[in-house]
Amino acid sequence: MINLSLKSLNQGLVKKKFSSLELTQFFLNRVEKHNSDINAFISIDAEKSLTQAKHADALIQSGQNSLLTGIPVAQKDIFCSAGWRTTCGSLMLDNFISPYDATVIQKFNEVGAVNLGKTNMDEFAMGSSNETSYYGSVKNPWDLSLVPGGSSGGSAAAIAARLAPAATGTDTGGSIRQPASLCGFTGLKPTYGLVSRFGMIAFASSLDQAGPMAPSAEDCAALLNVMAGYDEKDSTSINHEKEDYLANLDEPIKGLRIGVPKEFFEKGLDGSVQKVIEAALMSYKKMGAELVDISLPNTHLAIPVYYVIAPAEASSNLSRYDGVRYGYRAKEYDDLMEMYFKTRQEGFGEEVKRRILIGTYVLSAGYYDAYYLKAQKIRKLISDDFKKAFEKCDVIMGPSAPSVAFKANEKKSDPLAMYLQDIYTISTNLAGLPGMSIPAGMIENLPVGLQLIGNYFKESQMLNIAHAFQKETDWHTRMPDGVS
């Protein structure tokens, strides 16, 4: 069961080899057995999940089913889900029961998918290792002493350990692609605006984007078919023509121009990772693709630009958590101002408070022009670099992360070292481009991810390119030792 693709699971349901009720119970049992070791899930509600499964079985029986009907999907705990506790990995929202569904959740509900549970994450999606969650660190199923990456680390660990056949994540600076690399599966950050952000708890509004996480490109295509679409409730949603991302998966890639940016292979990249990435590029060359040298000269500015813009937006977005309307409130205080101070002091973790302080500083009078405005100007230069690059190539490839998964607590006390884990992914968020990570090899039994960066709304092409690689290799089918 854990080796089956979404298409195979669908066929099993349609042919009555098993029911959605049985399938959902199977994965609930796996979560119950393994979650105490991995800590991938924050909230499980078996009754709600099984009720959805019964409804899915009725849809299948009546012939009103689609590809994902009856299939359990783990949802990152950043998506509001009606009747479910929605925490965003924070004490601040520990007692928050959402009264409505995020559009992403609504879309899965409409096709009859089953919400398997809410996955652990870095607090308010701020982190690259899933060590900032109020609910404890997530462990990497490949080695429990290592981190799974973040902030979508719970979803990543759930897929790697096969606690769920698929999951959702969000990517603000690499939070789908980096954990996909560290945990050995396929993760896609769509073009900004392709997937609705309504009901997705905001970290940095101009950077956040939801996307699919699953073992293969084919599975991600099936998930994106459900997730993508214009939403009038989201002011950042783009009215892009609806596509079928499964339709062109098997198109030949001969003649494909792959841009290889020299800046992705300079100081900072682990030598063993570089060899794996270069071998993957050679595989594409054997399939008929052409490798083109390109340059993204402002790549080195992506980290400082991101850590001005993202904290600035976080400072604004998180101002709503003050203990007045909902969420955590300090127990002891003498007046309203002290309630504000104590609530935010106690309710937020250290990384969140650090970013709020940075963001407030760069937006303050006297510093706005020097930091925030300048960062936005450089953001435009980074975007222009990609536009020039895509004149020479169809897709850009390089590493998803500078190293394989690292030890828990190894970088926790060094924020800069942690921030540099996203050096290859952040620039795509700043430009609003789609990015993707696929398994490309192993180093001492740890996965390495190859990153694909496409032009705007080229998700279909990227999935085709990824699928071509996965037809020739088996890296995406590898599972951690002991997973069965």
The model's pLDDT over 120-144, given as tens digits with 9 standing for 90+, comes to 999 999 999 999 999 999 999 999 9
In this predicted structure, the answer to whether residue 149 has a pLDDT above a threshold of 90 is yes
User: pLDDT grade, residue 325 (50/70/90)?
Assistant: confident
Q: Let me know: does 328 contact 343? Beta carbons within 8 Å.
A: yes
- CATH number for the domain spanning 230: value is 3.90.1300.10
Is residue 345, in this structure, part of any structural domain at all?
no
Active site residue 151: yes
Is residue 412, in this structure, part of any structural domain at all?
no
Contacts of 438 (CB under 8 A, 6+ apart): 180, 186, 217, 449, 450, 452, 466, 469, 470, 475, 476
Is residue 121, in this structure, part of any structural domain at all?
yes
Give the amino acid at 395. V
Q: Which of 19, 76, 128, 152 is catalytic?
A: 76
- How does 102-120 read in b/e, with b if 16+ C-beta sit within 10 Å? bbbbbbbbebbbbbbbbbb
Q: Which of 20, 43, 98, 175 is catalytic?
A: 175
Is residue 176, in this structure, part of any structural domain at all?
yes
User: pLDDT grade, residue 81 (50/70/90)?
Assistant: very high
User: pLDDT grade, residue 482 (50/70/90)?
Assistant: confident
Is residue 274, in this structure, part of any structural domain at all?
no
Is residue 67, in this structure, part of any structural domain at all?
yes
Is residue 16, in this structure, part of any structural domain at all?
yes
Q: What is the mean pLDDT of residues 383-403?
A: 98
In this predicted structure, the answer to whether residue 32 has a pLDDT above a threshold of 90 is yes
pLDDT on residue 74: 98
Separation between Cα atoms, residue 7 and residue 252, nearest integer Å: 21
Q: Which of 19, 43, 133, 151 is catalytic?
A: 151
pTM check: above 0.75: yes
Q: Let me know: does 344 contact 314? Beta carbons within 8 Å.
A: no
Active site residue 460: no
SS3 of the chain: helix, strand, coil, percent, to 5 = 45, 15, 45
Is residue 454, in this structure, part of any structural domain at all?
no
Separation between Cα atoms, residue 84 and residue 41, nearest integer Å: 13
- Give how many domains the chain has, as a whole number: 1
| Token code pair at residue 144 | 């429990």
Q: Let me know: does 321 contact 353? Beta carbons within 8 Å.
A: no
In this predicted structure, the answer to whether residue 484 has a pLDDT above a threshold of 80 is no
Quick one: residue 63, left, alpha or beta (phi over 0 = left, psi -120 to 50 = alpha)?
left
Of the candidate ranges 351-355, 414-418, 431-435, the one whose mean pLDDT is the lowest: 414-418
Cis peptide before 49 (omega within 30 of 0): no
Active site residue 175: yes
SS3 188: strand
Residue numbers of the domain that contains 50: 6-252
Q: State the CB neighbour count (10 A cutoff) for residue 287.
A: 16
In this predicted structure, the answer to whether residue 237 has a pLDDT above a threshold of 90 is yes
pLDDT on residue 283: 98
